[in-house]
Amino acid sequence: MSCQIEITGLVKRFGDNTVLDGIDLCLEPGERVAIIGPSGTGKSTLLRCLNWLDTPDQGTIRMGDVTVDAARATRGQILGLRRRTGFVFQNYALFANKTARGNITEGLTTVRGWPADKARARADDILTQIGLADRGDSYPAAMSGGQQQRVGIGRAMALDADLMLFDEPTSALDPEWVGEVLDLIRRIADGRQTMLIVTHEMQFAREIADRVVFMEGGRIVEQGPPAQIFGNPQDDRTRAFLRRVG
């Protein structure tokens, strides 16, 4: 296996609560990995640790030529990791005082150091790709939940990141907006973008993922192709979870 992203021995504690308990995971270039499991089992925390929104207590993360050891991470290493990831939040996390275009250009100008005209051209291209070419001057309050989440995805797309992280991207949406967001993620996946997706949409995970990871209690219990995980899970905990959500 040729690892583009490699996670080794990742541990995260909140007080006495160990949320991630020694996570090892490797993603190949262009691989789409879906993470499923019960609430409170560390799925979102794993994503947040991968770009240091949450600081892991132990373990290493390697993305390309950047390797960060939690025990001795430097600011430069953390910034290098963040430059290689695009994060799509479940609650959109848009800047309310910026337009759709401004939300997309923000990371390009502040993180990548692009000049404003280049960032604007990139943002307008992204807005066209996500079906919002006519909403570039709209503020989040004037957009539907589905449109806001598409802008959030567009912001991550604009960075051309090594890894896109999706944290329950449809969980905050009204049912009528879920389909359009999932369709956009499918289109991005078709371009062989490396993805790590935390989702409660089992059918979506089955369709989009090359590999499904089942987590419980802060650990990876089982992983494999969707046909195996959904059709013939090997662990009793996986089977019990799928019965509950099925």
* CA–CA distance, 205 with 198 (Å, rounded to integer): 9
pLDDT at 2: 79
Neighbours of 91 (CB within 10 A): 13
Structure confidence at residue 172 as a pLDDT band (50, 70, 90): confident
| Strand pairing category for 58-63 and 163-167 | unpaired
The residues, any chain, with a CB within 8 Å of residue 70's CB and separated by 6 or more, are: 10, 11, 55, 56, 57, 58, 59, 60, 61
Nearest to 56 by CA among 46, 41, 43, 42: 46
Q: Which of 69, 85, 57 is nearest to 195 (CA)?
A: 85
Residue pLDDT, tens place only, 194-240: 999 999 999 999 999 999 999 999 999 999 999 999 999 999 999 99
- E strands, the chain, are 5-14, 17-27, 32-36, 58-63, 66-69, 85-88, 163-167, 195-198, 211-216, 219-224
Alpha-carbon distance values, 185 to 124, 201, 204 (Å)? 19, 13, 10
Helix (H) or strand (E) holding 239: helix 236-245
- Are 124 and 108 contacting, i.e. CB atoms less than 8 angstroms apart? no
pLDDT of 112 above 90: no
Give the chain's largest Cα–Cα span. 55
Distance CA 63, CA 61 (A): 7
Q: Assess whether pLDDT exceeds 70 at residue 1.
A: no
Domains of the chain: 29-45+84-245 (3.40.50.300)
Asked if residues 181 and 151 have their Cβ atoms less than 8 Å apart, the reply is no
Instruction: Burial-class residue 27 by CB neighbours within 10 Å (0-12, 13-18, 19+).
Output: buried
In angstroms, the CA 60 to CA 24 distance is: 9
Condensed to tens digits (0 to 9), the pLDDT of residues 41-75 reads: 999 999 999 999 999 999 999 998 999 999 999 99
Q: Check residue 111 and give its pLDDT.
A: 83
**Concatenated DSSP letters for 36-65?**
E--TTSSHHHHHHHHTTSS--SEEEEEETT
Give the per-residue pLDDT at 45: 97
Cα–Cα distance between 227 and 215 in angstroms, integer? 17
Q: Taking residues 156-181, what's their average pLDDT?
A: 91
Please report the pLDDT score of residue 177 as a whole number: 87
Residue 19 scores a pLDDT above 90: yes
d(CA 114, CA 127): 18
Q: Is the pTM of this model over 0.85?
A: yes
CA–CA distance, 213 with 179 (Å, rounded to integer): 23
What pLDDT is stored for residue 61 in this prediction? Answer: 97
State the average pLDDT over residues 120-133.
97
